[in-house]
Every structure is written in C-alpha cells, then in structure tokens.
Amino acid sequence: MINNTNTKKLLLKGGRIIDPFSKKTFVGDLLVENGVISKIADSIASRGKDFNIIDCKGLVVTHGFCDIHAHFREPGREDKENLSSGSLAAIAGGFTQVCTMPNTDPVIDSPEHIHYIASKSKNLPIDIFPIGAVSKNLEGEHLTEMMLMKNNGAIAFTDDGMSIQNPQFMKLALTYAKMVDLPILNHSEDIYLRNEGVMNASKTSSNLGLKGNTSLAEAIMVYRDLLLASSLDAKLHLLHVTTKEAVDLIKQFKSKNITSEVCPHHLYFSDEDIDNFNTNLKVGPPIRSKTDRKKLIEAVKSGVIDCIATDHAPHTLEDKETTFNDAEFGMIGLESCFGVVNKVLVKENGMSLKSLIEKLTVNPRKVMNIDRDLFEVGKKAQITIIDPNEKWTFSNQDIYSKSSNSPFLGHEIVGKVKHVVSKNKFYTL
Amino acid sequence: MLKSKHLIGLENFPTSDLKKIIDTSFKFKEILESPDRKAILLKGKTIVNMFFENSTRTKISFSLAEKRLGADSINFSSSTSSVKKGETLKDTIQNIDAMKIDGAVIRHGHPGSALKLTEYIDGAVINAGDGSHEHPTQAILDMVTIKEKFGKIKDLKVGIIGDILNSRVARSDIFALKKLGAEVVVCGPSTLLPSNAQKLGINVTHNIDEVLKWCDVVIGLRIQLERMHLGRIPSEREYHSEFGLTYERVSKLKKDIVIMHPGPMNRGVEIDSKIADSDNAVILDQVLNGVASRMSILYLLLGDKSEKL
C-alpha cells in the first residue's frame, strides 16, 4: 500500500534535482513546508526533530508528472475505476495532475457535468482537470456549451473514443474552441477505413485471422485534422499517435497550436507481440508494426511528438477474459508508465532522462495550458522522486487501479517511482 | 434626384445618395407625425411588392409607405403565385414588367436576386432583403434612428452583436456606418462571424461586455434558432449567457447606450425583455422610421423631379 504523511517539514536530501522547466539539473536539497516548496539549495540544514528527512541520494527529484489522457470511468462504470481509485493509480505512477476523458456514462458534455467532476475531485490526492466532450453525447452532431463548460473548469474538449468523422462538424468545433481558447483533442481515425479492425492490419493479423485496422485510417484523419486546424489557426492536439505516416504529417504541420502525444504501449510493443491473442494488447488505436514503433521513438526523441500520455483505460476481467474480437479496447497505464518509457526511450534508445521528464511534465502542461512553473520557492509542491535505474517486474501488487488489464504484467521494466508529494501529502511507494 | 437608379445594396451605393435619403427621411417623419400623415407625391405610379420570402414588418412598412405617397401598389407573394406552379423567376418578373410598372420591391432568399431583377425590369428596383447579402432599407432606417438620437453618425461607436455571418442587416449596417464615418465592432460566436471581418475595416471580438463598455449604440441581431440545429451554436442558454443583451449586463453599465434591434426579437435569447422594453431601446422608433425611410427612398427613386417635397 501507499503510505502517506503530511508535509509539515519535509526535507528531500541529496537528490539529483531535475527542473525541466528552467532546464536546471543539480544535486541538492529541497524543503517542503505545509505543501509548499520553501527552499531549494545545495544543502539545507535541518535543526530540530520535527523535520521529516528523506534520503534521496541516488534518486531523481523532479516535477510531478502530468497525464493528459486518462479514463477514470466515473460516472457510470465505477466498477472499473472511479476518481478516487484513479487518483491512487496516478500517485503510484508519479502523476500529480491528470486530465480525465469525458466518455463516461453519462458523457461529460455540459457545464453541470464538468462541475460534478471538478467538485468531486477537490479532496482527492491529485489535481484532476476534466476534459469536456466536443459534441453532445459524443454523437458528433451538436456542439457542447464550451464557454459555460470552460467557466466550470473544462480544460479541453474531445470526443475521444468516438473519433469526429464529419469534417464540417470538426471545422465548427475547432472554430468554436478557438474562441474559447482551449484545444480540441481528436482521436483521429476514419471509422470507415478502420472498419471492424481489432488490431493493426499486418502479416500477424492475417496469420491470426483477425480483422485489420489499416494505418491509413489514422493517417488520413490526421491529415484532415491538421489541414483544418492549421487553416483556422486553432489549437489541435492529436491523441495517441501510432503510425509513421502520422508522424511525417505532424512534422510537416508542427506549430505552437499543433501538438501530439504517444502512449507508452505504442512505444513498447509491436503488433507481432499479439501472437497469443492476448486481449490486454487489444487497444484503440492498435499496437502497430515494428517500423511504426521505431518511428514513434524517433519522433518523441526529436520533439515532433510533444508528450507521453497513458490513455489509462481500465476494464473489468469479464471485458478482457474473452475472445480477441469480443474484448474491450484499452489498457491501464498510469502505474507502469515511467518504468516502460524510461526503459524504451532512455535505456534502450539513448534519450536523456531530462528530456524524457520534459515529455511527462512540462510538455503535457503546455498542451493543456496548465501552470508549468512549479519548481519554484513559494509554489505548491508537486514532486515525484524516482530511481531511474531500478529494475522491477510489474505485478498485480503494483496496481492501484480497480482494474488490472495491463499487458505489462510480468514484464521487467526499468525506473521506479519511490515517493510523491502532492497536495500537502507525502506518499511513499 | 439621386445618382442611382436602384437601391440594391449599400456596398457600392454613393455616399451622397445615402445622405440625401437619410436627410429626406426626416421630412417624411414630420409628415407621418402630422395629422394628415400623407404626401401624395407618387400619384399614378405603380409599384409591385414581390415577397418571395416571409416578411411582416418590411412588407407592411413598404405597403404603408406606398399608400402614404399615393402610389398604386400590387402585392405578390410566392406562396400564392405561379412560382408555386413552377414558373421561373425570370418569367414571373418579365410578365409583371409587361404590365407596365414603375418600381419593384423585392425580398428573396437568394443573394443577388435583387440585382438580377434589374436585368428584367425597366423601373426602379429596391432590395428588401436578398438572402444573406444586403438589406439596405433596414440599414437606412437604422441610420435615420441613430441620427435622430445623436444628431450625427460620424465618429459614433457602434457595436453589432450576433450572427454577423448570415445577417444581411449586419452587412448593410456595416457598409452604411463605414460610409458615414462611424466606428464599428462586431461581436458574436466565432462560428457566426465572417472570416474576412477585418477586411471590412471593422474590429471583431467575442467579448460583449467590452463592446458594451465601448459603444454608444448597440444593434442586437436576431439569432436564428435554426442555426443551432446546423451546429453553429450549442444552445440558447450559452448564447444568452455569453452574447445576450441581458439586464444584468446592460444595467451595470455606467452610461446610457442606445439599444437597437431589427426584429423580430427572440426575447430571452439575444435580448432580455427588460432591455427591449427599456427607455434605452429605440426598437419601436426604428419601425416608424422604417416607414419614413422607405417613403424617402421611393420618392427619391420614383418621384418626378417637378414634384417638390
């Protein structure tokens, strides 16, 4: 279990402090008093016994991570996850801020629904920012009340799960959201090309007799969205990019208003890993080819893709313990995120840890326009302390989500979250 | 009397003609307020009012203006005509023209229909609204109303709120106000603003409170509820909350502003009843000025030069 104490006088001693916002890295001490960073220095003296001193030697002390793509299933499917259990899963993954997706039951498509999530999240361990739906009931026909939703705390808009198909509606949504000055997040996928595809269209899908979902379904829709957003100069964030074609297009259209994310599982697996019909690898968009995976890794390293997002998507055992065709799409991802991306990007592909931390901290906050300058004296402490070299095998005991649909179970990953400071609490894992 | 033979739109209408129409309107207003209310200046002239689209106040206003001037007028509406039997616009109009008419007033759902009419008709053509293109007589009556209130139009600050994209009233008002030297800001949801607004020499904002603080006159436009079904605005509630001329908004202003609306109003959506019925609202003055303005337009386009007002 996660233990927590207050942060009356919490002294983090001797850690390697990485501040991705100011791009400073140094070994030093950091003092948190009553939830606020009160001092950062090479060495901070601790007089008196009321100090809670944490030896951070060999550990990295950095910003709390921010996940801009998580499904907490509340309201409607609290058996899979709720705001409270999702928050614990976030803490376990080193995340102190999470943006929640609106495809719940009912859909988060009104100011009242946004208010519900915002007010219900107030006393949870992390900051939760609700994302509102673009269209009423995710039907892709009627715009939601974006202005009133923003007034109630909506941080962005998406119909994630139901890709917006009608280009005229997408154009109006981008136009309206531009006025509201919030981004539209699209799950860019042409559903007619996707057809009944349950995995990437490939040799493996053909061998397994599973229906394939072509890369073109993503590429074509990404191109449409990029053209629309750039012609309107509107903010567009492309969710969970998976294909090499999409990466090339994003590179071509990249601007301050065009951002994108990649999920840990798309960086870690390739479609050949689905050789035993493992339903925990059934995800939308699908795990792609080795070539796509390689291209995604390059794109994160070069900055074409802005950030890592988990697409944490809890499902019950019943939803997954079935045939590949019948299984639900999605996997949980918060708890395993850092170990997975650190292993793939830093350990195996030579990315710097500092650079990876940017993709988990500053960049997602930038996409959502959340206060990014967190590592300053006087700011509310949101800190994650990690051992970047610890090898561990991801197991059921590491899961705090109500669901356990993770394909990483049994996999050895590298880099572990040790402690988290969030909302005046100090958590030890 | 005027340089122009027709009144199709204000974009290319000579400013001198526009000013003359406005100034003459005040003379007709005096006549309308006199016990007699008549000025038989178009005796023997035949005017056909062709309404291919529904209209209440514009149609009545033109009919009344024609009657007050002593013209013979014929009304034609598409719902009761051979248009219903499949006749083309060209044939309908040429048939009417063959009956010898001096002027035609046309309201049609398609932009450019009034201009098209000038090709088939010898008399003067007056555009009473062609799709989302122009509604010049509405703009003229708006100018008359503003001038009546302030004694001038030049340098006044005018805010236009609402569906600028689809509004012929907004377009004609903008052209008229710019010609007469007023400053114009338009405000509405981004989905109902033209993308080329800046090119018209006007400023665009989504913040109605800023506009109200800045302006001398605000023109609230009718928000067509069918726009909502076309997905351009999410709800009446959001529109009212963010773009409505609400009592809360207007009453907290530390100054008086003149409130106008071309009608018909959606009370409770783009304008609160308390505001529409307040002393600051000149919405009913606009209606009477509409008759005076149309008398002025008809007289200046169709009247004999010898018939002095």
Q: Would you state the pLDDT for residue A372? A: 64
CATH (residue range A64-368): 3.20.20.140
Asked if A208 contacts A273 with a C-beta cutoff of 8 angstroms, the reply is no
Asked if A285 contacts A261 with a C-beta cutoff of 8 angstroms, the reply is no
Query: Which regions of chain B are under pLDDT 50?
Result: none
What span, in angstroms and rounded, lies between the C-alpha atoms of B57 and B263? 8
Provide residues of A within 8 Å CB-CB of chain B: 136, 141-148, 168-169, 172, 175-176, 178-179
Residue A202 backbone phi and psi in degrees, to 5: -165, 180
Test B191 with A176 for CB contact under 8 angstroms: yes
Q: In percent, how much of chain A has pLDDT > 90?
A: 93
The reply to whether B95 touches chain A by the CB within 8 Å rule is no
Q: What are chain B's domains? A: 15-135+287-302 (3.40.50.1370), 136-283 (3.40.50.1370)
Instruction: Give the strand order in the sheet containing A127-130.
Output: A65-70, A95-100, A127-130
Of A41-45, A49-53, B252-256, least confident by mean pLDDT is A49-53
Collapsing DSSP to helix, strand or coil, B63 comes out as: helix
Encoded amino acid at B81, one letter = S
Nearest-Cα residue of chain A relative to residue B228: A142
DSSP code, position B134: B
Average pLDDT over residues A29-52: 90
Of A136, A148, A172, the CB nearest to B238: A148
Quote the Cα angle for B91-B94-B97, to 5°.
150
Q: Would you state the pLDDT for residue A6? A: 83
Q: Would you state the pLDDT for residue A7? A: 79
What span, in angstroms and rounded, lies between the C-alpha atoms of B130 and B110? 5
C-alpha distances in angstroms, B206 versus B6, B185, B188, B286? 36, 10, 5, 26
Question: Is the pLDDT assigned to residue A421 strictly greater than 70?
Answer: yes
pLDDT 10s digits, A64-77: 999 999 999 999 99
- How many CB atoms neighbour CB B221 within 10 A? 25
Number of Cβ pairs < 8 A linking chain A and chain B: 40
Of A145, A176, A179, the CB nearest to B235: A145
Q: What confidence category does residue A419 fall into, taking pLDDT thresholds of 50, 70 and 90?
A: very high
What span, in angstroms and rounded, lies between the C-alpha atoms of A16 and A416? 15
Test B231 with A147 for CB contact under 8 angstroms: no
Instruction: Give the strand order in the sheet containing B72-77.
Output: B72-77, B46-51, B103-108, B124-130
Question: Is the pLDDT assigned to residue A237 strictly greater than 90?
Answer: yes
Asked if A234 contacts A170 with a C-beta cutoff of 8 angstroms, the reply is no
What residues of chain B lie within 8 A of the CB of A175, using their CB? 190-191
C-alpha distances in angstroms, B248 versus A154, A173, B260, B271? 25, 29, 17, 11
User: DSSP assignment of A372-426, as one string?
Assistant: ---SSTTSBP-EEEEEEEEEEE--GGG--SS----TTTT-EEEEEEEEEEETTEE
Q: Would you state the pLDDT for residue B81? A: 64
Collapsing DSSP to helix, strand or coil, A289 comes out as: coil
What span, in angstroms and rounded, lies between the C-alpha atoms of B21 and B138? 13
Asked if B52 contacts B78 with a C-beta cutoff of 8 angstroms, the reply is yes
- Give the containing element (helix H, strand E) for A258: strand A258-262
What are the structure tokens assigned to B164, written together? 């600028």
pLDDT 10s digits, A130-151: 999 999 999 999 999 999 999 9
Query: CB burial class (10 A; 0-12, 13-18, 19+) of residue B30?
Result: exposed
DSSP code, position A347: I
Q: B 235-294 residues with CB below 8 A of A?
A: 235, 237-238, 241-242
Residues 6+ apart with CB under 8 A from A192: none
Q: Would you state the pLDDT for residue B84? A: 65
- Comparing CA positions, the residue from B283, B290, B280, B285 lying closest to residue B258 is B280
What span, in angstroms and rounded, lies between the C-alpha atoms of B70 and B57? 20
What span, in angstroms and rounded, lies between the C-alpha atoms of A225 and A209? 32
How near does any CA of chain A get to the CA of B268, in Å? 17
What residues of chain B lie within 8 A of the CB of A176, using their CB? 189-191, 234
Test B242 with A146 for CB contact under 8 angstroms: no
Encoded amino acid at A295, one letter = K
By residue count, chain B amounts to 309
Asked if A5 contacts A427 with a C-beta cutoff of 8 angstroms, the reply is no
Residue A389 backbone phi and psi in degrees, to 5: -110, -5
CATH of A3-61+378-399+411-428, one of 3.30.300.10, 3.90.180.10, 2.30.40.10, 1.10.357.10: 2.30.40.10
Angle between the N-to-C axes of helices B283-302 and B57-68, in degrees from 0 to 180, rounded to the nearest 10: 50
What span, in angstroms and rounded, lies between the C-alpha atoms of A140 and A163? 8
Q: List, by residue range, all CATH 2.30.40.10 domains of chain A.
A: 3-61+378-399+411-428
Average pLDDT, chain A: 96
Asked if A188 contacts A162 with a C-beta cutoff of 8 angstroms, the reply is no
Tell me what ipTM this predicted complex has. Answer: 0.89
Angle between the N-to-C axes of helices B15-33 and B136-150, in degrees from 0 to 180, rounded to the nearest 10: 70
Q: List, by residue range, all CATH 3.20.20.140 domains of chain A.
A: 64-368
What span, in angstroms and rounded, lies between the C-alpha atoms of B55 and B48? 15
